[in-house]
Structure 1
Amino acid sequence: MNTPVIRLAPTLASRNRQQLLALLPAIAIQLWQWGPPALLALASASASALLADSLGLAWRRQAIWPGLRQGEALLTAVLLSLLLPDAAVPLLCLCTGGAILLLRQLFGGSGSSLFHPVAGGLLLAAPWLPAGLPHADIPLSLALLAGGLWLLWRGLLRWQAPLGLLLVVLIALPVGSGWLLGQSALWLLAGWVMSDGSATPITPRGRLVYGQAAGMLCISFVTLTTQPDAGVTLAACLLLLSASAPLLDRLTLSPGPRT
């Protein structure tokens, strides 16, 4: 008699490790584009993230090493270093550490905050970012798209919210949203931030509505401003909509059977 195989859901640490693996092509592209400064920024942001996470865990009287082994702080640092390749290292470290302390540890740690620290860190850095239209980075965008598809194949990407966003961007092509498809920030935020369960609705329909609303808000803002930054604009929309995630869950939960 064959023993049935039970496939267990990945642990948080395993999920984060695989998300980091999916980012390796993008990291390689950025190191090739920016050289040693990108490596310094990545190492500094990682050290800042681990330090901030350790301080937060100690303040909440939690075990430090098990918390760091989950990999969320390291994943946050890598994502922010990819989003802010031209930011000064002190600014990157300040935004990374501040986002983890304010939007992760202050809310109680893993899975307790409605707001994703990567989106928050990007907004913290926004006032010091150079003005002007961001240039398209096709190699980095393709690397992030490949990593996202790999996560989707592995069953680690909640696809409804990214799909909702991309559908809106494609539908809005006649009004000039095509340049968004070349922005690496769009693919990174869609694949790694919008698919995070702690900052998005838990129901599939709620995540789809969340993604569509994020797309409509983002396109509305970038078409009304003269020098839009796709990453900052989308991060602001995601933080705004994350506050409505509990309401979307309540509206999209299937009613139980009547008794």
Structure 2
Amino acid sequence: MRFNTAPAPHLAPTASTRRIMQWVLVAMAPGIAAQLWQFGPGVLINLALAIATALLTESAMLRLRAQPSRAGLSDWSAVLTAALLAVSLPPIAPWWISVFGALFAIVIGKQLYGGLGYNPFNPAMVGYAVLLISFPKPMTAWLPPTDLAATPLGLLDAWSAIAHRAGPAGSSFDALAMATPLDTLKTQLGLGRTMDEVQSGPLFGALAGKGWQWVNLGYLAGGLWLLRRGLIAWQIPAGFLAALGGLSLGFYLLEPQTYPTPLFHLFAGATMLGAFFIATDPVTASTTPKGRLIYGALIGGLVFVIRSWGGYPDGVAFAVLLLNLAAPTIDHYTRPRVYGHPG
């Protein structure tokens, strides 16, 4: 008797690319909610502009490459790329920042390499790094968090600032913007002030900067949920946070008036977003267990170096892109021994 048998593998996959992308977007919700609470509806406008641009660009590129656009758009990778880019942008960045960043991320960072699975660099960080280098002023002008804002912006006020560079009730746009805690800290320490003097200002809270500490707690909650569901490996965020926390602790103990506490580094800037959502990109990150730990630790170490002595207040994007280059080499030297073969 002949039996109809299907070719291997015989176990159906438990999660598709589309489902994984959707779960990652769900995990971002607490962090996005914290950003909305602290920095207003400009976050939603950035998300809408970036996602719309990413989807249109992805569709156009797939057509140019004679690829089925419906299948390419249905995996939600373009939406996730746009979301990661948008939440990294200041909530009152001009509209063309979101559009240009998403366009560059999809065309240069993803599709020119062959699409999802072939890109060597994280597309969202490619777009962000190009924006930061090309347009430093609008990329570093953030709103004050809710605790410090005299009058929080509504949706129409945020749209007026983003689309027309105008403040509410005829006020100057420049009056809306302020430096981030990381930027303020770097600038003030460069002027010779001590950590106690700098952190006595109203911008700094119990863990890090007011507003930013809540955003980091939101992304930490979402990242732990991803770990619990097994959607990301623990080694990359563990290596990232351990290296960043360990280096910052060592330098803080040596010179507490020159270097901030480990808690400040862990809950400032894009630390938790980078550790759980950006560095863990399965396409561009290291893939071996030991390699992931090394990869995450090197990113955390570079973030500390750039924050402490580099020209930019935060270094997550640059650290991730540099380690994207190194990921194949890390994997080559950390391949696990095949059973039955000598190491």
TM, length-normalised to structure 2: 0.69
2:92 corresponds to 1:113: no
2:200 corresponds to 1:154: no
2:332 corresponds to 1:250: yes
Where 1:103 maps in the other structure, the secondary structure is coil
Ranges in structure 2 where 5+ consecutive residues have no aligned partner: 1-10, 142-177, 182-208, 252-258
1:258 and 1:143 mapped to 2: Cα distance?
45
Q: Higher helix proportion, which one?
A: 1
Q: Which residue of 2 aligns with 1:130?
A: 140
2:279 corresponds to 1:204: no
1:240 and 1:118 mapped to 2: Cα distance?
14
User: Could you tell me which amino acid in structure 1 is paired with residue 35 of structure 2?
Assistant: Q
Instruction: Give a deviation string over 1:84-109, Cα, whole Å, max 9, x none.
Output: 13322211110111111111111111
Does the 8 Å CA contact 1:15/1:156 hold for their aligned counterparts?
yes
Where 1:243 maps in the other structure, the secondary structure is helix
Q: Which residue of 2 aligns with 1:100?
A: 106
1:184 is displaced (CA, Å) by 4.5
2:288 and 2:295 mapped to 1: Cα distance?
10
Does the 8 Å CA contact 1:138/1:182 hold for their aligned counterparts?
yes
Does the 8 Å CA contact 1:158/1:196 hold for their aligned counterparts?
no
Where 2:113 maps in the other structure, the secondary structure is coil
1:9 is displaced (CA, Å) by 3.4
Q: Which residue of 1 aligns with 2:246?
A: 171
Instruction: Give a deviation string over 1:188-233, Cα, whole Å, max 9, x none.
Output: 11111111111111101111111111122221222113x6422xx2
1:161 is displaced (CA, Å) by 1.3
Does the 8 Å CA contact 1:194/1:200 hold for their aligned counterparts?
yes
Does the 8 Å CA contact 2:306/2:313 hold for their aligned counterparts?
no
Where 1:83 maps in the other structure, the secondary structure is coil
1:41 is displaced (CA, Å) by 1.6
Q: Which residue of 2 aligns with 1:140?
A: 215
User: Could you tell me which amino acid in structure 1 is paired with residue 27 of structure 2?
Assistant: A
User: Could you tell me which amino acid in structure 2 is paired with residue 171 of structure 1?
Assistant: G
Q: Give the ranges of 4+ consecutive aligned residues of structure 1 lying more than 4 Å apart after TM superposition.
A: none
User: Could you tell me which amino acid in structure 1 is paired with residue 140 of structure 2?
Assistant: P
Larger Rg: 2
Q: Which residue of 2 aligns with 1:236?
A: 318
2:302 and 2:235 mapped to 1: Cα distance?
17
Does 161-170 or 127-136 show the bigger shift?
Answer: 127-136
Pairing partner for 1:83 from 82, 88, 105: 88
1:133 is displaced (CA, Å) by 6.0
Instruction: Give a deviation string over 1:223-255, Cα, whole Å, max 9, x none.
Output: 113x6422xx22112111111111111100123
Does the 8 Å CA contact 1:169/1:219 hold for their aligned counterparts?
yes
Does the 8 Å CA contact 2:235/2:296 hold for their aligned counterparts?
yes
Does the 8 Å CA contact 1:52/1:98 hold for their aligned counterparts?
no
TM, length-normalised to structure 1: 0.90
Q: Percent identity?
A: 34
1:229 and 1:52 mapped to 2: Cα distance?
31
Specify whether residues 7 and 156 from structure 1 end up closer, same or farther in structure 2 by C-alpha distance, changes over 3 A only: farther
Does the 8 Å CA contact 2:140/2:180 hold for their aligned counterparts?
no
Q: Which residue of 2 aligns with 1:71?
A: 76
Instruction: Give a deviation string over 1:17-67, Cα, whole Å, max 9, x none.
Output: 000111112222222333332222211111011011112211211111111
1:206 and 1:75 mapped to 2: Cα distance?
25
1:95 and 1:29 mapped to 2: Cα distance?
23
User: Could you tell me which amino acid in structure 1 is paired with residue 74 of structure 2?
Assistant: R
Ranges in structure 1 where 5+ consecutive residues have no aligned partner: 1-5
Specify whether residues 7 and 25 from structure 1 end up closer, same or farther in structure 2 by C-alpha distance, changes over 3 A only: farther
Instruction: Give a deviation string over 1:135-160, Cα, whole Å, max 9, x none.
Output: 23011111100000111111001221
